[in-house]
Amino acid sequence: MEIPRDRTRDKIAGMRCGFTPKDTDNLVADPASVRAVAAMPLARGGHDPSVSPPLDHAAVNTIIAGIALAMFLSALEQTIVAPALPAIGKSLSNLDDLSWVVTAYLLAATAATPLFGKLTDIHGRRAIMLVAIGIFIAGSLVCALAPDIWILVIGRALQGIGGGGLIPIAQTIIADLLTPRERPMAQSYTSVVFMTASILGPVLGGLLTDHLHWSFIFWINLPLGAVALVMTSRALRHLPRHDRPHRLDIPGVTFMVAASVALLLALDWGGTNYRWLSWQIICLFTGSAALWTLFAVRLLTAREPFIPLAILRGRITSTITCAAFFSIGSIIGITIFTPLYCQMVLGASASVSGVALIAFMAGATIGSLLAGRLFARLTHYLRVPIAGLTVGIVTLGLLAVDVDGLSLGVFCAVLGLLGVAMGPMYPTSTIVMQNGVKLHQLGIATGALNFFRLLGGAIIVAVFGAIVLGSGGEHGGIAALEKLAAGHADFAPAFRLVFVAAGIFLAIALACLLVLEERPLHGPVRLADRAE
């Protein structure tokens, strides 16, 4: 039976649901859409007894605080262990295998990121978030009690599995809680949490190691993790649920995880543990390529592939993933190679080079916050990251021109500007990705985005390392480069190429943004999601 048509009434109802006037024009032209909206609960004030009422402001803040703490734990653990490595090696009487303490965490976190995203779409955010925090706490306990290096490595892998799930789950929960227009500010806050933890990690790790014991860098995770569990457990019971029955593609997961691990091992060991053309590295690259091929075949043939083809083929989702791969990957690469540049080209000490890194991360934090505020006010919000990447490319070009003529103070100022220019890509990539998928695909889309951002960082770090290592004539890794710092000027040409390469990567990201469709950030959900 047809619903009596009243275009004015239908337009008002559609706008109360959060749609724009343009959306309501399309809506009222379609009787089926009118019936669909009639069956929906009104956003921000409507009520349907079949669904949970909207969360109040206090409940939303409690959830965001809890997931921010969980994200802080994950980000902190990526950097806090670095200053403790010598003490750990000495205490456990094993310096040869010490690199696995770092590698195990990064490998596990990268591989687990898309898996946890998919699991939240199947089982809901709350259950998987609590599982991730629990695994992280268990891994921390194993690390703190580890009697030898390999038990510590197992504990770090468990930490990585849990930590790899915390960030994409947190970002997905924010998307469940807030409208597209409200998300940018919250996502920028999570970027601030992540960057703050990255800066604080080495400082806190050094203090705990020097004044207490290296195991305390893991013990502190237990009370913090317990607080995160308590803060999120009750509040997440009322979280809006958009999950649907899904199948977990076990063969697809296996192929993707194995391919990722092989690729990351090749990038981590190439030029450090083994020469790039050694049989070990060639075998890892070949094996990774074969596994990626099997994963691609599985995507095309599986009834429900691990990553939906709509995400991989979608113009918006694939384009923003490419932009994030190169831009966030460049941020990671610059973060790692900035201290080396300061020491080997500018002749700074290790402690002073850390100041330059803080300048870059502080700039990126400011850029992320500014982007979050501007997104909520601007119709054409993509102009913010486009302008930022343009400034970043110009800044990198200036650094390449005068690579060894800058004072340390000027370099820190330039690096701060570069951080401000690149920082908006953190919230931009998350917001655009989530704005381009269905509600029931938020988890896997966010997880996949974070996976490719981490993979981009690993590959770009490997590219930067190959440039600098090749100029040094050594194949003993970053540690070998630090021993060559006596001839600072010799490395200026290499870092000039690093800045040029970073500029090229940012140019690719900029090109992606320029062709990206700019969908408006409006209402609680989009019409396409409601109609599904």
Give the pLDDT band of residue 50 (cuts 50, 70, 90).
very low
Cα separation, 455 vs 452, whole angstroms: 5
Whether the model clears a pTM of 0.75, i.e. scores above it, the answer is no
53-238 and 313-532 share one CATH topology?
Answer: yes
Is 505 a residue whose pLDDT tops 90? yes
Cα separation, 279 vs 470, whole angstroms: 19
Is 40 a residue whose pLDDT tops 50? no
Is 85 a residue whose pLDDT tops 50? yes
Tell which residue, 156, 34, 269, has the closest CA to residue 277. Answer: 269
3-state secondary structure 519-530: CCCCCCCCHHHH
Mean of pLDDT values over 303-329: 84
Residue scoring higher pLDDT (524 or 233): 233
- SS3 state of residue 270: strand
Is 333 a residue whose pLDDT tops 80? yes
Amino acid 512: pLDDT: 93
Q: Which CATH architecture has domain 53-238?
A: Up-down Bundle (1.20)
Cα separation, 325 vs 500, whole angstroms: 17
Mean of pLDDT values over 453-479: 69
Cα–Cα distance list, 273 to 135, 280, 281 (Å): 30, 10, 10
Could you read off the pLDDT of 207-220 as tens digits, one per residue? 888 788 888 888 98
Give the pLDDT band of residue 94 (cuts 50, 70, 90).
confident
Amino acid 526: pLDDT: 38
CATH superfamily of 313-532: MFS general substrate transporter like domains (1.20.1250.20)
The runs of H, that is alpha helices, within 146-182 are 149-177
- SS3 state of residue 405: coil
Cα separation, 511 vs 128, whole angstroms: 36
* Whole-number percent of the chain with pLDDT over 70: 79
Could you read off the pLDDT of 235-286 as tens digits, one per residue? 677 666 655 566 777 888 888 888 888 888 887 777 767 888 888 889 999 9
Q: Any idea which of 234-238, 411-415, 437-441, 479-483 has the lowest mean pLDDT?
A: 479-483
Exposed e or buried b per residue across 188-214, where buried means at least 16 C-beta atoms within 10 angstroms of its C-beta: bbbbbbbbbbbbebbebbbebbeeeeb
**Mean pLDDT over the full length of the chain:** 76
Could you read off the pLDDT of 123-171 as tens digits, one per residue? 777 888 889 889 999 999 999 898 888 899 899 989 988 888 888 888 7
Is 469 a residue whose pLDDT tops 60? yes
Cα–Cα distance list, 377 to 237, 442, 466, 516, 520 (Å): 32, 24, 43, 20, 12
Residue listed under structure tokens 């596994």: 291
Q: Which residues pair with 274 in a beta bridge?
A: 270
Cα end-to-end distance, the chain, whole Å: 21
Tell which residue, 479, 502, 282, has the closest CA to residue 389. Answer: 502
- SS3 state of residue 223: helix
Q: How many CA atoms lie within 13 A of 174 on its CB side?
A: 30
- Cβ atoms of 157 and 136 within 8 Å: the answer is no
Domain boundaries, the chain: 53-238, 250-305, 313-532
Cα separation, 133 vs 165, whole angstroms: 9
Exposed e or buried b per residue across 284-317, where buried means at least 16 C-beta atoms within 10 angstroms of its C-beta: bbebbeebbebbbebbeeeeebbbbeebeebebb
Residue type, 308: P
Q: Which helix or strand (DSSP H or E) is residue 345 part of?
A: none
Amino acid 351: pLDDT: 65
Give the pLDDT band of residue 61 (cuts 50, 70, 90).
confident
